[in-house]
Chains A and B, each alone.
Chain A
Amino acid sequence: QSVLTQPPSVSAAPGQKVTISCSGSSSNIGNNYVSWYQQLPGTAPKLLIYDNNKRPSGIPDRFSGSKSGTSATLGITGLQTGDEADYYCGTWDSSLSAGNAVFGGGTQLTVL
C-alpha cells in the first residue's frame, strides 16, 4: 500500500491529452515539493518534473505538473506512442522525525 495514491492506469489516443493524479496528505504533498518520474519498459525511472511544476533540461513542454493542497497532477499533451510508460509521483513525508521519501504506486499510460 503506497503512501501516495495514483490511478493504476490511464489511456488516451495519440495527439490527445491525459492527466494523472497523485493524492497524499498534509504530511507529504501538502507541505513538500512533488516530483514525477517516467519509467519506460525495462528501464530506470527518469525525472520528468520537480518542484511541483519544473522540467529538467531536455524534458519537452508537453509534460507539465501542478499541485493543489494535498494533491498533484501530471499532464501530458500531444500524446505519442513513445509516451507509453509507468509514471510515478514522489515527495517527502514529514510525519516522522526524519524525512522519508515516498512514491505513488504508479500509473500505467497506454496510448491507444
Chain B
Amino acid sequence: QLQLQESGPGLVKPSETLSLTCTVSGGSISSSSYYWGWIRQPPGKGLEWIGSIYYSGSTYYNPSLKSRVTISVDTSKNQFSLKLSSVTAADTAVYYCARQSVTTNDAFDIWGQGTMVTVSS
C-alpha cells in the first residue's frame, strides 16, 4: 500500500525558507502514471494547491506562489521536496503531500498525514 510521509521543521522564522520532504513508500515515485503535489491548509481554512512535479522533474506551480516556490524530486531516495522562500505568518499551515493519478484525471488520490509548519520568530 502506497504511503506518503511529510517531514521537516515545524517552526520557521519570518523571511527564511521553509523546506519539507515527502517520502514515498510502498511504490515507486518514478511511475509514469503519477504526478506528486504539495497542498497546504492554514488553520481553520481551506485547501490551497502549491504545486506538482513529475518524476522527470517537470513542474507546475500555483501562480500566486510561483515566485517563492521550488519543488524538486530525488528518484534515488523516492522523495520529493518543497522549498518556500521569504515566508511570513501567512504561510503558517498544515502542509500535505499527495499523489495525482492519471487514472483519476489528476485528482489527489493518496495523501500524507500532513505536517504543521508555524512561521514565527
A residues whose Cβ falls under 8 Å from a Cβ of B = 2, 33, 35, 37, 43-47, 50-51, 54, 56, 88, 90, 92, 96, 98-106
Contact = CB atoms under 8 A, between A and B. Distances in A.
A100 B62 contact: yes
Contacts of B104: 35, 47, 50-51, 54, 56
A33 B48 contact: no
Contact of A51 (B96, B105, B114): B105
A103 to B, nearest CB: 4
Given A101-B37, A103-B49, A92 B111 contact: no
Contacts of A92: 106
Contact of B107 (A2, A35, A105): A35
B60 A99 contact: yes
Nearest to B112: A44
A103 B112 contact: no
Interface of B: 37, 39, 46-49, 52, 60, 62-63, 96, 104-114
A35 B48 CA distance: 15
B49 A33 contact: no
A37 B108 contact: yes
Contact of B60 (A2, A43, A45, A98): A98
